[in-house]
Chains A and B, each alone.
Chain A
Amino acid sequence: MAELPPKVTIMKGATPDLSAATYQIHDETHTIGNALRWMLMKNPKVEFCGYSAPHPSENVINVRIQMYDNLSSLSALITALSDLDDLAVTIEEKYVASLNSGNYERWDERS
């Protein structure tokens, strides 16, 4: 099989300390792009974050991150990813709790 492209690459033009960089994420769409952008913008050390899906025929998204205080955008990216994971776990916990409580209407739907 053909060699798979790396999942994440740093695009040309990043600062040497990675305080401002654009990350190209392969095989991802707005699904991850918008959620990740939101979580990065929740970080007070992020000066700017935006994402784009450059072209419908290219299966990639570009995520631009610029940091205050010359901090590393790569660390911010990793933090945002693990924060999103915590968020997903929390939502699942509450959903399962609500489902297990049985406190909802059950009805019969004919197909």
Chain B
Amino acid sequence: MDARRLVGIHAERVTDVSSRDFPGHYPDEDHSWNLKKFRKNLTVQVRRVSQRSIDFDLVGVDASIANAFRRIIIAEVPTICIEHVYVYNNTSVIVDEILAQRIGLIPLNIDPKKMEMKEADDESTDRNTMVFELALECTRKKDAPKDTTDPALLYENHELLSGHLVWTPAGEQNEVFRDKPPAPTNPNIVIAKLRPGQGIQMTLHAVKGFGKDHAKFNPAATASYRLLPHITIKKPIPVHLAEKFQKCFSPGVIRVDPRTKAVSVDEENKRRDTVSREVLRHPEFDGYVELSRVRDFFLFNIESESAYLPQELLPEAISVFRGKLSSIRRAAQALLEAPADEDVVMGDS
């Protein structure tokens, strides 16, 4: 491992945190932007995919790029959420405002690409608004056993669930959303608890929005990265300390040969280490090991909690990123073609 790629991790401090791969930093070395070189150095490797989350490695980019994608996934990839709640009746113990806020947080399975943004003064149309009805009345069960206190046995509709949302198609929505009728991604979310005589009736309007406006629009449950841990064993670990050394790291990170007790780092599994620095607390290992992280090796983990599949979120973020770049470039190009107008005040004036 190239020592320049490592961020040193010591008992009480970290060293070499900032990247230095800029022109002029190292004499006689070319660090200017070079797409060919970048492409050669770049590795993107998907590691693990489930229906809810993805793990992938992004190797060979600067933290500013990795962080841009992470930030965009959280704040600027659009989703559809309930934004307006019209309450006709609510006799539950939860007040209207709290209920409305809870309903807003329910993730919906609606593909954001099939809807348009509704700007502040736009009319609601079938292209920008999705309507749901929510009506439930709790009643006593006639044949309930006498000796029970279980509300599920005593009452009908004792819980208002996300599954009770009923989509009301408007205009062309029946056509557009035929394959996947709009509904919550999870039908078992408890919105409110009810008792006999209590009921709820409301109309809900879902719109497209961004995580930067309200966290309910965040398409991911978490989107995070960490740097690959790196462990250098400087000299052989004494045989009688091998097991103790192994226990200083997460399970699977350090291998001890069962016969010779020789200690080595498991290169495939070193990513499992939490870099707890436990090994640095023991004086007997002083000078035997160096801990670090690889500055340009990002281990991403993204959990989707929206209509997007987890593997779709990075490409969505990249397209949002490219959209931003092109709008700034268009504006900059306009400045280049028509400079010095009245809002440009030049220097020594």
Contact = CB atoms under 8 A, between A and B. Distances in A.
B333 A32 contact: no
B213 to A, nearest CB: 12
B33 A13 contact: no
B343 A9 contact: yes
Interface string A26-61: 001111101101110111100000000000000000
A: contact size bracket: 35 or more
A45 to B, nearest CB: 9
A44 B22 CA distance: 8
Interface stretch (B41-49, B148-156, B231-239, B253-261): B41-49
Nearest to A29: B71
B15 interface: no
A81 interface: yes
Interface stretch (B51-59, B93-101, B286-294): B51-59
A67 B62 CA distance: 23
A100 B330 CA distance: 33
A106 B50 contact: yes
A42 B22 contact: yes
Interface stretch (B79-87, B242-250, B311-319): B311-319
6 contacts: A7-B328, A15-B346, A81-B332, A91-B42, A99-B311, A107-B48
Interface of B: 22-24, 31-33, 35, 38-39, 42-53, 56, 58, 61-62, 64-65, 67-68, 71-72, 75-76, 119, 121, 186, 311, 314-315, 318, 321-322, 324-333, 335-336, 339, 343-347
